[in-house]
Structure 1
Amino acid sequence: MSTASQQPASKPLAAPSPPGRTAEKEQITAAVAATLVLAYGLHPADITRIPEGTATDNYLVVDQAGRRHFAKVYRTRDHLDLERASIELSEYCADGGVATAQATRTREHELIETNGRLPMSLWSYAPHTASAEGGLTGARWAAVGTAMGRLHARLATHPAAAPTLEPGAAVCDVVASRDRFERLIRVYQQKRPTLGEFEAWALQAAGERQAILGDVERALASLPQLTVQVLHGDMAGPNVLFKNDEVSAIVDFGPPTPGYLAWEIARLSCDPKSVLDNSAESWLTGYTDLTLAYRDANPKASSDDLVSSLRVGCAAMLCSAFPLSVPVERPHILDAATEAYGRVRHEAALMLLDRLPVMEEALRDALR
């Protein structure tokens, strides 16, 4: 990471250009600097592109006083209303004591700068050493449980929607999943014998998924009614930031949208890498630590939601065609990391399905 200059700069400095970087990208970096000056009154000493970001181009900005900021440049103006609502949801949670990044308003007190060439939001830089993307271990299980419990307790009060109880079986659409796997299998079969190694594996995995969807449907049918409320919207590993073993910030909220609480708990807690990097018993110990800490932070949480999160997470992974479908639907994003994630996710989901009754009973006993 670049360090801030201690001397006044005659103009904002762009990050060093790697080999092959296009003039267009250099112009965008210059436009980021201009937007920071005009919209925020912030004079950058250094701007560094951060590779993360699926819908935005992200930059670490160091101003001339050495303070760090995080700039998100939106690639399209089509959904800025939803982006603004997402920032407002983050602010709502921060007002309730949840650890989040803080948005910086423009000179005109707007959450998103829209007048210039680049639509942008600017944030305080959340100090952290790692995200939860690499999986949860040790004390981080309980830390995430506490942070997520506080988050959901606050979101339960959001005026967009009051918490309700809905049939748990509706958390996944097994019929739609069955149709999608059938289509995917047909496409791969038609490409024989030209399938690549990952495509051949994806065809086999899709067949295995198709064969057990009946088991998934029966597992979902036994779920009780579960809580539906406003959620974070993208509770994945990269959006939970740690400083040592404490959660320093939860970031990248979606707009306030109701969903199953058990699913959002499982989305992070049943991360495939966390599942497979430990023995089943060790992973369940961590998962139990998370749910106990979650309940302490959110005492109104239902035990049904916490226990059912295991079943919901397992079913959601088995019903999802991602990333088995990537070579067909989004071949431009296929890389070694995506392929590895596909294999790990498939193996983790099958392991959870096989051990689900035993794990649920152990979790239920711990929560009594």
Structure 2
Amino acid sequence: MLDPDAHADLASVLAGAYALPAVALERLPIGQVTVNYRAQAGDEVLFVKQYQDGADLAAEQEAVDQAALAGTHQVPVARVRRSTDGRSIVQQDRVAVSVWEWVSGTVVDDGLSPAQQRAAGAALGRIHVAFADHPAGERPSSKLDKWMHPDIDKLEATTVKLLGIAGERAQRDAFDEEALRTLAERRAVLHRIPELLAGLPQLTCQVLHGDYSAVNLLFDGDTLAAVLDFLPPDPFLVAYELGRIAFDPRTVVLNDDWITAGVNLVAAYLDTNPHLPAADVTACARVALLQLMTSLYGVKQHYLKPGLLQDDLDQFWLLRHAAAQRLLENLADVETELAQVSRSR
């Protein structure tokens, strides 16, 4: 793991490799796999990402390249600040970093407004158009076969294990009680997964952003200021990435008119990527639901391996579970609305 207090080593790298002496570093409470900083260098403000020991820096370089490619297709992105010898990522001893321009904006954590939904949808459409012919799209997806054939027995066994850990605590706290409730609810619907998978049509697979979610979108009011944290190129389902942001758990749980909100985002996506097959559009909510139902992200970390910001993960699990329940109950209505918007193109 990183030593997040090792400012001296990080400052030394910034001074030596980037000619940024006397940098004031402020750690930011964001990120689960990197430690991130706001860096003040004189009058200049920068974003510094420090990678964990053992990180695949070649893959991280590919991710930097993906952001640059998207930027050439009218997608707002942060620009990487290269070192004095031209590198996007610098490793010295055990410190590996990348430095980026600071983009002013905020992450919307209570559901996107209609204008923000349209901006997010349009940007994602441009990203998918930009990446449609990516050479990496010709190779097999590293995740698709596993995703299409989830180990439901293993998922149930893990759910039972987590229920046992939470239930056996001598003094249960509020999250333990919520975990017991939500895990029991999840276990009760695991048998629905095969029928949901069986209802999927043939779907488009290509290189994606990889983590297109609300936490990786910076807004300045209703304007999308930057799309952040692209992942290395690896083909996967277009419907997955579209459904994930259109039916983001914050939208589904916090917005009473969440179906209209999700369809609004999808319509904006189709404005910039009008050639996506109707089958992918209609299936995107089902794919998003399957992703939620087959994931114990957050609660699993709580009881087995706490993350860097575990309190955030706890709340994320509760939000994702509530979204899964609502999507499951209303899937037929959602798919009817999506089919209609896809036919209108």
CA drift of 1:187 comes to 5.2
SS in 1 for 2:25: strand
CA contact (8 A) 2:216 2:228 kept: yes
Q: Does residue 325 of structure 2 align to residue 344 of structure 1?
A: no
Q: Does residue 298 of structure 2 align to residue 323 of structure 1?
A: yes
C-alpha offsets along residues 87-145 of structure 1, whole Å, 9 cap, x if unaligned?
Answer: 112122223332111111111111111235521111111221x1144322221111100
CA drift of 1:161 comes to 1.4
Segment of structure 1 superposing worse, 244-253 or 131-140: 131-140
Give the alignment's Cα RMSD to 1 decimal.
Answer: 2.6
Q: Which residue of 1, 11, 17 corresponds with 1:33?
A: 11
Q: Which residue of 353, 356, 368 corresponds with 2:328?
A: 353
**Residue 278 (structure 2) aligns with:** 303
CA contact (8 A) 2:70 2:77 kept: yes
Q: How does 1:271-310 map to 2 (within 5 A)?
A: 271-279=248-256, 282-310=257-285
Aligned partner letter, 2:331: L
Identity %: 29
Distance 1:342-1:187 versus aligned 2 partners, 3 A rule? closer
Aligned partner letter, 1:30: A
CA drift of 1:335 comes to 4.8
C-alpha offsets along residues 133-158 of structure 1, whole Å, 9 cap, x if unaligned?
Answer: 43222211111000111111111121
In structure 2, distance between residues paired with 1:95 and 1:59: 26
CA contact (8 A) 2:299 2:313 kept: no
CA contact (8 A) 1:199 1:327 kept: no
Q: Larger radius of gyration, structure 1 or 2?
A: 1
Aligned partner letter, 2:264: D
Q: How does 1:188-199 map to 2 (within 5 A)?
A: 188-189=163-164, 192-194=167-169, 196-197=172-173, 198-199=175-176
Q: How does 1:189-228 map to 2 (within 5 A)?
A: 189=164, 192-194=167-169, 196-197=172-173, 198-228=175-205
Q: Does residue 129 of structure 2 align to residue 153 of structure 1?
A: yes
SS in 2 for 1:234: coil
Aligned partner letter, 1:151: I
CA contact (8 A) 2:110 2:254 kept: no
C-alpha offsets along residues 303-348 of structure 1, whole Å, 9 cap, x if unaligned?
Answer: 2212211111112111112223233322466854433332222122
C-alpha offsets along residues 152-198 of structure 1, whole Å, 9 cap, x if unaligned?
Answer: 11111212114999xx9974434x13422223314533764436243
C-alpha offsets along residues 6-29 of structure 1, whole Å, 9 cap, x if unaligned?
Answer: xxxxxxxxxxxxxxxxxx866x32
SS in 1 for 2:329: helix
**Residue 267 (structure 1) aligns with:** 244
In structure 2, distance between residues paired with 1:127 and 1:89: 21
Aligned partner letter, 1:252: D
Segment of structure 1 superposing worse, 222-231 or 339-348: 339-348
SS in 1 for 2:66: helix
Q: Does residue 116 of structure 2 align to residue 143 of structure 1?
A: no
CA drift of 1:284 comes to 1.3
**Residue 89 (structure 1) aligns with:** 66
SS in 1 for 2:90: coil
The aligned length equals 337
Q: Does residue 80 of structure 2 align to residue 103 of structure 1?
A: yes
In structure 2, distance between residues paired with 1:184 and 1:193: 14
CA contact (8 A) 1:112 1:119 kept: yes
C-alpha offsets along residues 15-55 of structure 1, whole Å, 9 cap, x if unaligned?
Answer: xxxxxxxxx866x3233332222111233453322221222
SS in 1 for 2:332: helix
CA contact (8 A) 1:233 1:254 kept: yes
In structure 2, distance between residues paired with 1:116 and 1:332: 25
Aligned partner letter, 2:292: M
In structure 1, distance between residues paired with 2:169 and 2:94: 45
CA contact (8 A) 2:122 2:269 kept: yes
Distance 1:347-1:132 versus aligned 2 partners, 3 A rule? same
Distance 1:118-1:40 versus aligned 2 partners, 3 A rule? same
Task: Normalising by structure 2, report the TM-score.
Answer: 0.88
In structure 1, distance between residues paired with 2:4 and 2:329: 49
In structure 2, distance between residues paired with 1:98 and 1:71: 21
CA contact (8 A) 1:240 1:249 kept: yes
CA contact (8 A) 2:11 2:23 kept: no
CA contact (8 A) 1:239 1:252 kept: yes
In structure 1, distance between residues paired with 2:29 and 2:167: 35
In structure 2, distance between residues paired with 1:135 and 1:107: 40
Q: Which residue of 242, 250, 253 corresponds with 2:219?
A: 242
Q: Which residue of 14, 20, 25 corresponds with 1:42?
A: 20
**Residue 57 (structure 2) aligns with:** 80
SS in 2 for 1:134: coil
SS in 1 for 2:135: coil
Segment of structure 1 superposing worse, 42-51 or 216-225: 42-51
CA drift of 1:350 comes to 0.9
In structure 2, distance between residues paired with 1:159 and 1:216: 33
**Residue 9 (structure 1) aligns with:** none
CA contact (8 A) 2:156 2:190 kept: no
Task: Normalising by structure 1, report the TM-score.
Answer: 0.83
